[in-house]
């Protein structure tokens, strides 16, 4: 390789390193614009009584809320103190079923029901597209406690985490 070729390669390498440095400085200077800080909001909904139609254990009436998010969407159902029988909660996002809990207990449940959880735990439904979304909950009862074979009503009690972009 001639001295002129080596000199040309060195100039190219120096130019590339300079370009990378300039681009890196631009990214650092505009980091907040390129990657805005996400802030998570928390909100509680309910308890709201849901009366059931029909004669079975699945309550066809749903507890529904609308939320706005930038991608984060987490939910948690908490059994209210007035429940007196086991229940499963089916979560819907924009009308589509997405998750279901196992059997949840009730405060003061006895025997096999005394060790059942009283919350769904935090459930991650995201990431979802930015914008408005509908979350609905459908309850499914079980014959035990005060439930004598038909779920007549239940309480919607939901905690929701969403995100907004820091401005």
Residue 125 confidence (pLDDT) above 70: yes
Residue 163 confidence (pLDDT) above 60: yes
Q: Same structural domain for residues 65 and 79?
A: yes
Q: Same structural domain for residues 67 and 124?
A: yes
Q: Same structural domain for residues 107 and 56?
A: yes
pTM: 0.76
Q: Domain limits at 8?
A: 3-34
Cβ 140 vs Cβ 87: under 8 Å: yes
Burial bucket for residue 92 (CB in 10 Å: 0-12, 13-18, 19+): middle
Task: Supply the DSSP string of 30-55, one letter for each residue.
Answer: THHHHSPPEEEEEEEEEEEEEEPPSS
Q: Same structural domain for residues 21 and 85?
A: no
Q: Same structural domain for residues 124 and 61?
A: yes
Structure confidence by residue, pLDDT tens digits, 67-119: 999 999 999 999 999 999 999 999 999 999 999 999 999 999 999 999 999 99
Give dist(CA 113, CA 108) in Å, integer: 9
Number of domains the chain is built from: 2
Bond before 150 cis per omega within 30 degrees: no
Q: Same structural domain for residues 54 and 10?
A: no
Angle at 46 between CA 40 and CA 47, to 5 degrees: 140
Give dist(CA 58, CA 88) in Å, integer: 9
User: Of the candidates 137, 125, 32, which has an alpha carbon nearest to the alpha carbon of residue 71?
Assistant: 125
Please report the pLDDT score of residue 164 as a whole number: 81
Structure confidence by residue, pLDDT tens digits, 1-31: 677 777 888 888 877 787 877 777 766 776 5
Q: Same structural domain for residues 22 and 85?
A: no
CATH code, domain with 147:
2.60.120
């Amino acid at each position: 390789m001639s001295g002129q070729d080596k000199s040309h390669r060195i100039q190219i390498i120096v130019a590339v390193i300079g370009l990378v440095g300039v681009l890196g400085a631009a990214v650092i200077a505009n980091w907040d614009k390129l990657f805005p800080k996400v802030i998570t909001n928390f909100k509680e909904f309910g308890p709201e009584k849901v009366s059931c139609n029909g004669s079975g254990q699945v309550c066809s009436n749903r507890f529904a809320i609308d939320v706005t998010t930038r991608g984060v969407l987490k939910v948690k159902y908490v059994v209210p103190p007035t429940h007196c029988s086991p229940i499963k909660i089916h979560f819907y996002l924009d009308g589509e079923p997405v998750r279901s809990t196992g059997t949840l207990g009730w405060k003061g449940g006895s025997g096999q029901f005394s060790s059942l959880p009283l919350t769904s735990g935090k459930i991650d439904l995201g990431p979802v597209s930015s914008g408005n979304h509908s979350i609905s909950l459908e309850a499914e009862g079980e014959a035990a406690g005060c439930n004598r074979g038909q779920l007549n009503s239940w309480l919607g009690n939901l905690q929701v985490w969403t995100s907004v972009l820091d401005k």
